Structure 1
Amino acid sequence: MENTHIESTLHDFYPQRIWTTLIHRIKIIWLLIDISFLVTLVFQNQLSGWILFITWMLFIGLNLVSFFLIFRLNLGMIATNWDNIEYTGLIKRDFRFITSNGVRNYAYIYYPENFDLESDLSPRKTIIGLHGWGSHHREMDRYCLPIIKKENYLYFTFDARGQGQTPGNKSDFGQIEDAREFLELVLKQPYVDKKNVVVVGMSLGAAKTAVVAYPHPNIKAVVMLSGPFDLLLTKKIMTLKERIIFALFGYNFSVPDEDLRKYSGINYFKPEGIILQGDTQPTPNHDRVLLLANRDDPTVKVVNTEKAIEKLQLKHENYRIFKRGHHCFEGNEYFVALEMADFIRKMMQN
């Protein structure tokens, strides 16, 4: 299928970027407010007490308003990209997933509305999506759904432990084992083409992908976005601001180092690649791996991706590092989805 088909779908998927534009403008206004206050401080000896008091109140008030507006607009942008996406032509239904410890994880399957999975069990090409920490399954919709519709693939995803509708502790790294069980469950479905399964992971979902999908002999290819592939390093270089934010959202920094080491994807990567089912020689990493990251990512520093590129010995066409975009590819979602679509389609055709 031609690229223009995917591109036209993406234009429908991302109709405007008003949120990002507003956020940048408010940040500029916020900066001007702070500069004005600093100028006032320089001349404070020439101002009366009341004027200084009013200046302080305005400074505090305008900063709070700016912070609130940026926070709300960020939520609005997230809602626009995640929660409010309704994609015509696709059916979404529950997919039963109960882990070995008896906990129901809320899981879903998406497929084109012209599919009849009840009577037609023909194997179909499949994508599995793994969302990031503190998020939910719809985080991956903006990247995966366009190609699902245009290429007639199946798509499976779920809310990880303690996130979305799934109960539990979201700091429990047992959720990585949940991802392993989910992958195996999907592979058992009669309508899934076991030779054409691609796993896509974002943030901690990328770490899960590295641990459970990259080494798996039945996974055709993997796409990993903003991945903390070295969890010990990620924790070590995390700024105080990021630590506070993560703590406020419920992350437990007392997770043992041995768990962080055990679930660091960098320890699962092999320079020579992985031997896939039915093969006798390893498939080179440049034939099944795509990495995407942002150089200004404050949450998962880009050094994670750089180390992965070096360990996997990837070619330039197998990774893309954007100059800006923070952790969630802010403003770059269109390009991320397009590169993913091109890569996945190429992998499925091989």
Structure 2
Amino acid sequence: MNYKNLYLHNVAELMPVQDGEGMQLCRIPNALRLQLHEIAHDSALKTGSVEIRFHMKSDRVKLKFAVLNTKQLTGGHTVAEVYHGTFQENAPRILGTHVTEIEIERPKEMELMQMIAAKEQLRFPPDLVRVILPYESHIAFIGVEGETELPREGSMPERKMLLYGSSISSGASAVRPTGAYSMRTAEKLGVDLWSLSMAGAAMVDAEMADYIAQLSGWEFAFIELGINMIWDVKNGVPGSPDEFRKRVDYFISTIADAHPDKWIFVTDLFTYMGDVRNGEIGQQFRRIVEEKVMRMNRPKLIHIPGVQLLTKTSLLTYDIIHPSEEGLLEISNHLAEQISRYLTVTA
């Protein structure tokens, strides 16, 4: 989405907030957001994988933001990062409920950075500024000072990885936004990330399947299924394998039937607490995903077991659900390796 000579990456709609002073960033159309599971009403507004991208015409640009949901933050994720192409600035930026200004200056070593980018064929040129927003925050964009222009042709990767999944795919437990396995995987594969992950709300909704099915512009997709349906959130009891099976059947069929020419990679539950404590329901959920992919028998529909991506429970955080920083790194390493094998196959 383009807005005020800025490209808002992974943003589908803007909604006025704070008496019209700011515009809240929403990653999917608001009408769709309100059709999904009630937790998605919140998680679709979280800014995981959202970036503000632009070229600087003036030597200094100032962006203004405010965090709208500080009281609801479970992990205090208000860390933003500034990149010049793929070159990270030295220090992160912390956003607050007051209007926070992120001031960006043109790098002194731009010429050298451009030489490196050309030599190493980096996926973003260093004169493209990327302000990468926090995973868990609801962000209002307040305004911009200084002269900017939209990304020029060739400034962003044409190849895109579409992503759907839980908070794990959104970036939970990553210390910095780019620490998410999804962001790391996109970087390793040299593609752009289009994230539709719903933290706590990856309920395999039919409406989301219908939405993904009609989207174009992505080369391949990675879909994570299961962890948010394995518990009945309201009642605190195990989820229903039968309901999960019904939803998985519609979800995968709808997307795969709409895009038979595209690679679609599907995973089930990453390694989690159920693998060390009474994990039969987890195994049921995993079999449901695996068997659905097998039944469809499509050459470009690939099942990758979650336990092959995250191999040890010691790579989880203390909730024994979300991967640690090392766990996120392991997922990205294994996932990038597996996907790259298939992308080299001639269609």
- TM bin, normalised by shorter chain, reads 0.3 to 0.5
Give the alignment's TM-score, normalised by structure 2.
Answer: 0.39
- Which of the two has greater strand per residue? 2
Give the alignment's TM-score, normalised by structure 1.
Answer: 0.39
Which protein shows a greater Rg?
1
- Which of the two has greater helix per residue? 1
- Highest RCO, 1 vs 2 (Cα 8 Å, sep ≥ 6): 2
